[in-house]
């Protein structure tokens, strides 16, 4: 009612197919909002008087929370983010409607704490698979969170069922083995004894952008420069720029 364009013929339609709920509203995106930034953009009211009236009569309790509420509610049931798209002169939002991940629902509704989007996204991403790459998590979370990296780290530290680990290919969030049954993980994500070193290196490069061999040697606590060089050569997520003493390392992404 609030967001549709009343200068466009048509009506708001709701189509439920059993596994998907699709809502279509006349009008295009408004005020700089797009399908990509709708979860983060400041609220824009096409019909300001109507929006004000609904708020005054308490038919809505807060402006700009609809997309986040839909996202949290979907993730709590183990469903994907709602997707927004412009179809001609209408906007379409599609939401999964099937109850598909019971393990996620059990954890997210235990009543012991409030789970945010970052927490729920991690739970859904590791369900069955057992792990998820941090760059993939950051990409998804950045749609709704400007501080995706900090949110991921905070969630990993607060969730009992996952942990941060590293391999020569990058940084991952994986399910702790004794949670495999709840999250329906059939095969644990294996790591090596240098997992923590990869985590330290990845976080160091992410925080500082770039670092020299000497910086990395000191941070990782290596005794010899050759040890650091050998470690860096195996790290596919790190790239070197320059040569000799002036060479620096940064993340590939």
pLDDT at 27: 93
pLDDT in tens, 11-53: 999 999 988 999 999 999 998 999 888 888 888 888 989 888 9
Q: pTM of the entire structure?
A: 0.84
- Give the total residue count for the chain: 253
* Rg, Å, the chain Cα set: 23
pLDDT at 44: 85
The Cα diameter of the chain in Å comes to: 72
List Cβ neighbours of 147 (8 Å cut-off, separation of 6 or more): none
168-199 as b/e: b if 16+ CB within 10 A: eebbbbbbeeebbebbebeeebebeebbebbb
- Angstrom distance (rounded) from CA 153 to CA 149: 6
pLDDT band for 127, please (50, 70, 90 cuts): very high
pLDDT in tens, 90-116: 999 999 987 788 899 989 888 778 899
């Amino acid at each position: 009612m609030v967001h549709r364009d009343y200068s466009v013929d048509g009506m708001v339609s709701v189509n439920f197919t059993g596994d998907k709920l699709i809502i279509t509203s006349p009008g295009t995106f408004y005020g700089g909002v797009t399908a990509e930034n709708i979860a983060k953009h400041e609220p824009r009211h096409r019909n300001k008087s109507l929006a004000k009236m609904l708020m005054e009569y308490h038919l809505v309790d807060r402006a700009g929370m609809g997309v986040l509420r839909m996202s949290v509610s979907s993730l709590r049931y183990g469903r994907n983010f709602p997707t927004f798209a412009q179809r001609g002169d209408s906007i379409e939002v599609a939401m999964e409607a099937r109850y598909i991940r019971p393990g996620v629902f059990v954890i997210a509704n235990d009543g012991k704490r409030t789970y945010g989007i970052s927490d729920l996204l991690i739970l859904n991403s590791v369900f069955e698979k057992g792990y998820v790459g941090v760059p993939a998590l950051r990409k998804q979370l950045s749609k709704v969170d400007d501080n995706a990296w900090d949110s991921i780290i905070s969630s990993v530290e607060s969730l009992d069922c996952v942990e941060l680990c590293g391999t020569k290919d990058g940084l991952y969030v994986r399910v702790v083995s004794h949670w495999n049954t709840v999250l329906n993980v059939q095969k644990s994500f294996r790591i090596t004894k240098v997992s923590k070193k990869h985590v330290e290196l990845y976080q160091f490069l992410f925080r500082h952008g770039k670092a020299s061999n000497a910086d990395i040697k000191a941070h990782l606590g290596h005794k010899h420069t050759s040890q650091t060089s050998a470690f860096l050569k195996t790290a596919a997520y790190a790239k070197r720029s320059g040569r000799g003493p002036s060479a620096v390392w940064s993340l590939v992404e």
